[in-house]
Structure 1
Amino acid sequence: MTWFKVDDSFHSHPKVLAAEPAALGLWVVAGSWSGANLSDGFIPDHVLPRLLPDAASLAQQLVAAGLWKRARGGYRFHDWGDFNPKREEVEEERKAARERMRNLRTKRKGAAQDANGSAEQSANVRDVFVTPTRPDPTRKEGGSSSYVTHDRAHEGPPPSRCTEHLTTPTSGPCRACGDARKARDQWDADRRRRIDAAPTCRIHRGQPAHNCAPCRSERLGADHQEQP
C-alpha cells in the first residue's frame, strides 16, 4: 500500500485558494489513483471520467491554478516527486519487504525444528510487518524504532515488551518496553469495551450473539440426532 501525501499547509496555499472546491476534490481523488497505480503523478485523459463527473473541465481549473500541468495524453501533478514516493522507490521497498518476509519465515521454520527452542520460535510476523496506523508511514511512533504501534482491533494483542526484550526480560527501565506496556493496556481496555458493547444472545444471557457457546452445542447435538 502506498500513501498519497497532502501537506498540512495545503488548505492555505495560493494555488489552492485559486481553485474551486470541486477541482480540489479531483486533485485528491486523482492523487489517490496515481498512488495506487504508481503513475508518478500522471493522470491519463481516459481515467478522468472515472474519477469525478465533469472531470475534464475541473482538470482545466487545476492547470490554471498551477496544481497540474498538461502532458501528452493526460495531466501531471506539479512537483509530485517532491512530496510522494516514486515508482522505483515503492517497488524497491516492496521487494525489500518480500525479502524480509522470506527471511523471517525461514527463521521461524528453523526455530520450529529446533528441539531446544529459540527466540525466533515465539516471534510474531505482525510484530515486524504491521500496517502503519498513521497516514504518513515514514514517521515513527514513540520515538523508538524498537517499538511498533499495534492498535488494529482485528489483530491479536500487541506484545507487552519491546522487540529487543520480547523473549528476554530486562532488569532495568526500558522506554520502548514502557510504551509497549501502555499499548497493551490500551488494547485490553478497548477489547473489554468492545465486548461490553457487543450484542448478547437473546436466549443465553452473557453470551455473545455472534458466538454463543450454548447455541453452538445445541446445534451440534441436533445435527448428530439427524444422522442415521
Structure 2
Amino acid sequence: MSSPEEKFCLKDVLLSFKSCLVDNDQDVLLEHYLNGWKGLVKFMNSLGSIFSFVSKDAVNKIQIMENFLKGTNGEKYQTLRSMVEYELNSNKVDLTNHSNNPNSGCRTILRLHRALRWLQLFLEKLRTSSEDSKTSTLCAEAYNDSLANFHPWIIRKTATVAFYALPARNKFFEVMNVGTTEEVIEMLGEAVPYASRVYDFTQELYSKHNLLDLP
C-alpha cells in the first residue's frame, strides 16, 4: 500500500506541466518540469516493478537536476533555455564524448525528455482506447515509437516482456486517483497536451543546438 506522499494523482502532474510553460511556450521552468516527473515516477511505481527500468533512472536524473538547482549556479538552471545557454557557453557539454561530463544538465534532461515522449504517447493511447484494449499492446506501441530507439536490445526485450504484466485499462484509471473513467479521460485530455507542448519545446530547443544525440 502506498503512503499518502507516494500516492499518484493525475491532477498534480497536470498542474506541474501546465506550470512549466512560460513566455508563450518559449521556455520551460525546470522546477515544475521536475515536479511533473516526480508525479510520473509515482505513477510508474504505483504499478509495481514493471516500469522500474525507467523509473529508477528517472529518479537519479531528477536528483542530478535538483542538485544543479540548489548549487552555486542554480540561477542558470531555472529554465531550460538558460540551462542550455549556460552549459554550452561554459563548455559543460561534450557533443562527442559523454565521459567528459556524464552528468551535464543538457544530457540529463535529454534522458528524461526521451522517456517523457513514451509516457505521453502511452497516456494518449490509454485515453483514446476502448474499454477492452490491451494495455500491454498500447504500452509496447508507445515504447517502440519512442524510447526503444535509444535502448540496447536486452533492455528492449526485458521491457516488452514486462509489459505483458500490465493491469487492465480500468486499473490504470483507478491508479490515477481522479474519479470515474469519464473524469480520468477528461483530465487526460487536458494533461497530455501540456506534456506534449513541453516535449515539443524541448525537442525544438535541443534540435536548434544539436543536442538531440548527446552520447
Whether TM exceeds 0.5 here: the answer is no
Q: In proportion to residue count, which structure has more helix?
A: 2
TM interval, shorter chain, is under 0.3
TM-score, normalization: structure 1? Answer: 0.24
TM-score, normalization: structure 2? Answer: 0.25
Larger radius of gyration: 1
Considering Cα pairs closer than 8 Å and 6+ residues apart, tell me whether 1 or 2 has the greater RCO.
2
